Amino acid sequence: MKKKNFIYKIINKDLKNKKYKTIKTRFPPEPNGYLHIGHALSLYINFNISKDYNGKFYLRFDDTNPKTEKKIYIENIKKDLIWLGYIWHKKKYASDYFNIYYKYAIKLIKKKLAYIDDLSIKDIKKYRGSLKNPGINSPFRDRNIKENISMFKKMKNGEYKEGEKCLRAKIDMKSKNIILRDPVIYRIKYNSHYKTKKKWCIYPTYDFAHCIADSIEKITHSICTLEFINNRLLYEWILKNISINHIPKQYEFSKLNITYTITSKRKIKYLINKKKVNGWNDPRLMTLSGMKNRGFTPKSIIDFCKLIGVSKKEHIIDISILENCLRKDLNKISFRIMGVINPLKIKIKNLKKKIKIKIPNHPQNPSMGYRYIYLHSSIYIDEEDFKENSNEQFKRLTINQSVKLRYAGIIKIKKIIKKEDKILHIECIYIHKKKTKNIGIIHWISLKNSLKTKYILYNKLFISKDPNKEKNILSIINEKSIIIKYGYIEKYIKYINKKTSLQLERIGYFKLFKKSNLILSQILLLNNKNKF
Ligand code: ATP
Ligand code: MG
């Protein structure tokens, strides 16, 4: 296998040394929210490793915290994976292993490697010390095995209050790695678990549950993000000390961060609660379901992940890279159509008969067919394509400058009809000329050929380039992230399937948000310029 990144290098070596027969990876989301673009990268990495090595890929729900996890998140995560084409060999739940976790916790107690602590969460934190200062042993650290087991059983039977007791691994309060200073491995929670309901009131922590689940499932390479680098020693400590057969290894890569984008479920949830966005699948969010609603294609997301690849360095990717991947895909598949967002009426005085014009539905793909449009004497152009007076750089319609109508001839201003300062319409002369040089081309629609349309236009959700770094994300919200306009589109829209993406010529990519009362929503501009 080619060395695509450092993980492939490691796997190639492991296979050469006959360490594993089958390569197995997993994607382990916690069902406490919807997936976002960052998760797409993790999925891409894990899924493709299993595919490239003819191995197995598991979807595991890391559901060990009943406070925040819900069935609806499970359903949406599955939907997102299917949408991206990442089909799992097996679907697993950490909660299926609650009995096993419990058994291993008892084993650690019996080996004098775990103890029940009565310290409060606050005191545990205080006793843990800091990077400069070593930790201090808890006064409960040396409880005997019998007492520990009896108390752990009482914890399980619901005889203590939340926070009254917890189980901690007994490692080293003076370790340079703070994670190893007797981490909590079990805590009491009385919330009902979406799956196991009220069966348990003690739950393993991420560190205790994750490595054991990896081992039970015989995962070979457990890939996670860099913030877990210090947890790796704990991962290894637990597996070694519970004496489990299969020992997977953890490898870390850097989290995906994108400019103008939030990739944290907690912060997305906050925006939803503050009603700054309309739920998890708001098209302005970079959740996978939001992106799907916006009009992103699975291919564009996968192409993006392929392009940026895996790295070990923290960095932030420019959003334009993602947008370019989408633009490239949409360019290939989108139906070309003419629509006007800011309508300005033109009356062509010398056009006595309508002109029938055959135009392609896609300039490079003849298999998408063609259609007929008609140039009538009343048309709409976009307000932005007209300026009463302008210099030559403005290659569109002015008093002194004619312009070509796309697929048709040239128009030239005869008279601007105004009421006070407001332009009512413009009278033009039509020159039937196909070949032209050095003249701007604009899009248009005949009034008779058009339908009234509501356009939903999107701008970036944040005004700051790195919103993940902002303390108060509410202060960097772009209040103009949605703009509504009323314009027109070719009548032909009626024959287009709702799922087909559209390119409004010269403007950008749109999707049919609602077909019945004609609402189009913007996916992306044709170029990077913010037009509206
Ligand atoms: P969040 O901070 O948004 O809650 P998380 O890491 O807590 O993210 P999980 O559901 O635990 O979310 O993540 C599942 C997997 O996706 C983990 O392996 C995690 O490392 C990975 N992942 C999460 N965010 C990113 C990201 N921004 N880039 C790459 N991988 C990510
Ligand atoms: Mg998490």
One pLDDT digit (tens) per residue for the chain, 532 residues: 666 789 999 999 999 999 999 999 999 999 999 999 999 999 999 999 999 999 999 999 999 999 999 999 999 999 999 999 999 999 999 999 999 999 999 999 999 999 999 999 999 999 999 999 999 999 999 999 999 999 999 999 999 999 999 999 999 999 999 999 999 999 999 999 999 999 999 999 999 999 999 999 999 999 999 999 999 999 999 999 999 999 999 999 999 999 999 999 999 999 999 999 999 999 999 999 999 999 999 999 999 999 999 999 988 999 999 999 999 999 999 999 999 999 999 999 999 999 999 999 999 999 999 999 999 999 999 999 999 988 878 999 999 999 999 999 999 999 999 999 999 999 999 998 877 788 999 999 999 999 999 999 999 999 999 998 899 999 999 999 999 999 999 999 999 999 999 999 999 999 999 998 999 999 999 986 544 4
The per-residue pLDDT for 531 is 44
In this structure, the number of other CB atoms found within 10 A of the CB of residue 147 comes to 13
What residue's CA is closest to ligand 1, atom 16? 39
The per-residue pLDDT for 528 is 67
In this structure, the number of other CB atoms found within 10 A of the CB of residue 408 comes to 20
What residue's CA is closest to ligand 1, atom 23? 39
Rounded distance from Cα 255 to ligand 2 centre (Å): 12
The Cα-based distances of 394 to 112, 187, 390, 401 in angstroms read 80, 68, 6, 9
Rounded distance from Cα 294 to ligand 1 centre (Å): 22
Residues near 104 by beta carbon (within 8 Å), at least 6 away in sequence = 212, 242, 244
286 Cβ closer than 6 Å to some ligand 1 atom: no
222 Cβ closer than 6 Å to some ligand 1 atom: no
Report d(CA 489, CA 429) in Å as an integer: 23
What residue's CA is closest to ligand 1, atom 3? 264
31 Cβ closer than 6 Å to some ligand 1 atom: no
Which-ligand-closest: CA of 25? 1
CA neighbor of 311 nearest in space, from 86, 7, 2, 1: 7
The per-residue pLDDT for 277 is 98
Report d(CA 426, CA 162) in Å as an integer: 75
288 Cβ closer than 6 Å to some ligand 1 atom: no
225 Cβ closer than 6 Å to some ligand 1 atom: yes
Atom of ligand 1 nearest to the CA of 41: 29
Residue 338 CA, chain-centre distance (Å), reads: 30
Atom of ligand 1 nearest to the CA of 228: 20
Which-ligand-closest: CA of 60? 1
28 Cβ closer than 6 Å to some ligand 1 atom: yes
Atom of ligand 1 nearest to the CA of 256: 28
pTM for this one? Answer: 0.95
Rounded distance from Cα 30 to ligand 2 centre (Å): 6
Atom of ligand 1 nearest to the CA of 257: 27
Radius of gyration of the CA atoms of the chain, in A: 31
35 Cβ closer than 6 Å to some ligand 1 atom: no
Q: Indicate if the alpha-carbon torsion angle 501, 505, 507, 512 is positive or negative.
A: negative
What residue's CA is closest to ligand 1, atom 25? 38
CA neighbor of 177 nearest in space, from 229, 137, 138, 122: 229
Strands 249-253, 221-225: pairing is parallel
For residues 46 and 57, the answer to whether their CB atoms sit within 8 Å is: yes
317 Cβ closer than 6 Å to some ligand 1 atom: no
264 Cβ closer than 6 Å to some ligand 1 atom: yes
Report d(CA 82, CA 48) in Å as an integer: 15
Strands 166-169, 114-117: pairing is antiparallel
Tell which one of 5, 39, 252 to mutate to probe ligand 1, the residue whose CB is within 8 A of the most ligand atoms: 39
The per-residue pLDDT for 532 is 42
Which-ligand-closest: CA of 42? 1
Rounded distance from Cα 63 to ligand 1 centre (Å): 14
